[in-house]
Amino acid sequence: MNGPVVITQPKTAFQVDRLTIKYDDGQGAVYAPLEDFSIKIREGEVTCLLGPSGCGKTTLLKALGGFVIGESTGGVLFDGQFQQGPTPEIVMIFQENNLFPWLNVRSNVAFGLKFMPREKVRPEALDEMLEAVGLQEAAKRYPHQLSGGMRQRTVIARALITDPRVLLLDEPFSALDVSLRRRMQQLLHDLWEKTGMTMVMVTHSIEEALYVGHRVLVLGGRPAGVVIDADTRDPALKDRYSDAYLQLQRRIESVIY
């Protein structure tokens, strides 16, 4: 039987609408990395943001998270509602991973649960999360007793324990060596497969963006605009040696460097 053809459009998670963010440059002048900037981020996708250093990537990510910074006009709609401030549905992992040095891994991860209503906390959630990121064995260790990868996994576990709908990541793996980086990228990829969570990740690595992302946005110019908006789901783009990969890499590099 043929029913009506239903074409489902992916939902919009974030709509950035003519956003201008101005900073005081400390010398009496005003600097606006984002001016009249508009973009839509789709729900359930992994969107990667690339762009030259200082172009406004972190500023944009913070704006998505509802961390109002500087002076702003325009706004960000999340789920069709104007963002008024941070919400537990959106968690952000910053570049520098700040674990509490006086808490062990288990307590660091459990920290996020404090902000959840009691009835929403499943008692087994903590152990499940430690298991999922492979930290069961290290649960009693303190941050200074962890490798870089373990620390970053703790940070991710702490962010995920509250079961957020959106994960915002600001160059989360830049301090890790190549093999750990790959493992963490795999972890993110698996997490997405399991949850279909909306993620926006800023990265300096084109390889990382193409591997983890469904869509790559390259920002450039002053004030920043979207210079490249590419769908990166094509399996050829997951192969670092394919022509399609190299072509896109060349295009992106011409903007970034």
d(Cα 76, Cα 66) in Å, to the nearest integer?
Answer: 8
Of the listed pieces 4-12, 46-54, 113-121, 124-132, which binds ligand ADP according to CB under 6 A? 46-54
58 binds Mg ion (CB under 5 A): yes
Question: Which candidate, 85, 251, 93, 249, places its Cα nearest to that of 184?
Answer: 93
Of the listed pieces 48-56, 120-128, 230-238, 240-248, which binds ligand ADP according to CB under 6 A? 48-56
Q: Tell me how far CA of residue 206 lies from CA of 127, 142, 160, in angstroms.
A: 34, 33, 25
Q: What does 106 bind: ligand ADP, Mg ion, none (CB cut-off 5 to 8 Å by kind)?
A: none
Least Å distance, CB 222 to ligand ADP, is: 9
Q: Which residues from 5-34 bind ligand ADP, rule CB under 6 A?
A: 23, 33
Q: Which residues from 75-114 bind ligand ADP, rule CB under 6 A?
A: none
65 binds ligand ADP (CB under 6 A): no
Q: Which of 53, 85, 117, 144 binds ligand ADP (CB under 6 A)?
A: 53
- Cβ-count burial of 113 within 10 angstroms (0-12 exposed, 13-18 middle, 19+ buried)? middle
Q: Which of 16, 37, 39, 58 binds ligand ADP (CB under 6 A)?
A: 58
Question: Which candidate, 196, 227, 228, places its Cα nearest to that of 215?
Answer: 228
Q: What does 196 bind: Mg ion, ligand ADP, none (CB cut-off 5 to 8 Å by kind)?
A: none
Least Å distance, CB 128 to Mg ion, is: 32
Instruction: Give Rg (Cα) of the chain.
Output: 19
Residues 6+ apart with CB under 8 A from 2: none
203 binds ligand ADP (CB under 6 A): no
Put the strands of the sheet holding 71-78 in their side by side order. Answer: 30-42, 12-24, 71-78, 81-82
Q: Which is nearer to ligand ADP, 35 or 234 (CB)?
A: 35
Q: Which residue is nearest to Mg ion (CB)?
A: 58
Is residue 210 a contact partner of residue 245, using CB atoms and an 8 Å limit? yes
Q: Which of 39, 45, 59, 93 binds ligand ADP (CB under 6 A)?
A: 59
**What are 75's two structure tokens?**
């706004």
54 binds ligand ADP (CB under 6 A): yes
Verify cis geometry, omega within 30 degrees of 0, for the bond prior to 88: no
Q: Which of 13, 48, 55, 167 binds ligand ADP (CB under 6 A)?
A: 55
Q: Which is nearer to ligand ADP, 160 or 256 (CB)?
A: 256
Per-position DSSP letters for 74-132, written without gaps between them: EEEEETTEE--S--TTEEEE-SS----TTS-HHHHHHHGGGGS-GGG--TTHHHHHHHH
Which residues contact Mg ion (rule: CB under 5 A)?
58
Which residues contact ligand ADP (rule: CB under 6 A)?
23, 33, 51, 53-59, 69
